[in-house]
Amino acid sequence: MFHSEFFPTPLSAIELMQLDCTGKVILEPHAGKGDIVDYCYLNGAKEVLAFEINKDLQQIVKQKANLLGDDFFDCKPEQVSHIHAIYMNPPFSNADRHILHAWAIAPEGCEIVALCNYETIAKDLRYGQLSKLINTYGTAENLGDCFSTAERTTGIDIGLLRLFKPLVSKEFEFEGFFMDEDEEEEQGEGMMQYNEVRALVNRYVGTMKIFDKMKTEIDSVNMMIGQIGMSSINLAIGHEKDVTTKEQFSKIIQKRSWNHIFHKMNMEKYVTSGVMKDINKFVENQEKVPFTMKNIYRMLQIIVGTRQETFNRALEEAIDNFTRHTHENRFGVEGWKTNSGYMLNKKFICEGIIDTGWGFQVKYDSYSSRKIDDLVKVLCNITGTNYNDVGSLYRFNFDPKKMEKTFDLEPNTWYEWVFFHIKFFKKGTMHVKFKDENDWYLLNKAYGELKGFTLHEQYKKAS
């Protein structure tokens, strides 16, 4: 009907997925015409977010769900940090890639349930990345030809994959916000100037008032045309996606305003992607918290007051990300309790960091590139290096002023980047070595102290 990969999910197959929808925010990354979306809402979902790449199908999905975009591979963790589950029937030709991306962007505590060609699972169980996830975090089963009654049959055995992303980090506690509106504007000191915060709030309030006026005018038009038998017209504002309600519009403006605040604070220098997901989760779920000057200052107080906690969490995340499931990235130390954490090796490996489909380059905003960027932020903090002078790995061979490449990456070639020597390989991996052993020592020393252990002085670089 629409494209070769379009296989609408029959109700009988959805029921086999045993989806828990009640009160949840759910992501459907390949919504099609919305069969899974419909099922989720009929079974009590709070909200369904969706991606759909086909333009015709998008028009159907937009009437049912909150359409975030077309290409699911463009989805970032910050967009979906507040979801509870991902329910999906991805394209059978490369379902493994879609499931791995779902795992990468899913927040902790998220359930992933996916249908796919069972042969994809069977082959991957022998040698692929998917097998690591299934063996550690989930299950897989063969449902047989459960699409035999579908609008488009497949004639193949369908696999059901179920994963659960564990809770491993402590979330920020966003408490103490004021539930009343600003009564009187008071002059105050803070990280952002008082006038700037006041202007931000005034823009938000003014924008919402204008939205109300537009809605009032539309209601007036509908009253007039209804008297001559015409059907009602709707107010829809096009801004990346259609906005039809005041609540949707308010959330978009608030999110952009919070992002403006975080940009002004230069938070990218010390806040990792994990912390930003928590902040985004708060912003997504704060529908009842007024966007006022008092609450903006409360957020700033929380961020500053928990800066040491933020660094400790970033440090733990940065090392655990590379050592939790990767034996070759661990450095063994006598007496170190490995169930409490592993030291990061002097040489370690990053998987899935190179995109070979469009030339040979670092993947933009991938899970792996975010991990190495977070590690660099921690090292900048420890060594007193200005992160603004470093930038992300994705831009390390770019001229920031001209925004163009200064040189092409070559495989099997060592480069210098900030704290490391790095080498890329055609299979998509990157090998990393510390340039200065003292940086390696300080990183693991801080991690050991956080875990309650002391790294022996013998590992420190001789001065």
- Which residues, in sequence order, are CB contacts of 210 under 8 Å at separation 6+? none
User: Is the whole-model pTM more than 0.75?
Assistant: no
Mean pLDDT over residues 206-230, rounded? 84
11-164 CATH, one of 3.20.20.70, 3.40.50.2300, 3.30.390.50, 3.40.50.150: 3.40.50.150
In the chain, domain spans: 11-164, 194-305, 322-459
C-alpha to C-alpha distance for 442 and 127, rounded to whole angstroms: 36
- Asked if 189 and 149 touch (Cβ cutoff 8 Å), the reply is no
Q: Give 130's strand partners.
A: none
Composition of the chain by helix, strand, coil, percent to 5: 45, 15, 40
Whether pLDDT at 430 is above 60: yes
Whether pLDDT at 27 is above 50: yes
Whether pLDDT at 287 is above 80: no
**pLDDT reported for residue 184:** 45
**pLDDT reported for residue 423:** 93
Per-residue DSSP letters for 440-454?
Answer: HHHHHHHHHHHHT--
Task: Output DSSP code: residue 353.
Answer: -
Whether pLDDT at 39 is above 90: yes
| pLDDT tens digit sequence for 364-401 | 667 778 888 888 988 988 888 888 788 788 877 776 66
Half-sphere exposure of 164 (CA within 13 A, CB side): 7
Whether pLDDT at 49 is above 90: yes
- Which residues, in sequence order, are CB contacts of 290 under 8 Å at separation 6+? 178, 179, 180, 181
CA angle 209, 83, 26 (to 5 degrees): 95
Whether pLDDT at 412 is above 50: yes
**pLDDT reported for residue 463:** 37
Mean pLDDT over residues 129-157, rounded? 73
**pLDDT reported for residue 403:** 64
Strands 420-424 and 414-417: antiparallel
| pLDDT tens digit sequence for 316-342 | 888 888 887 677 788 766 555 544 567
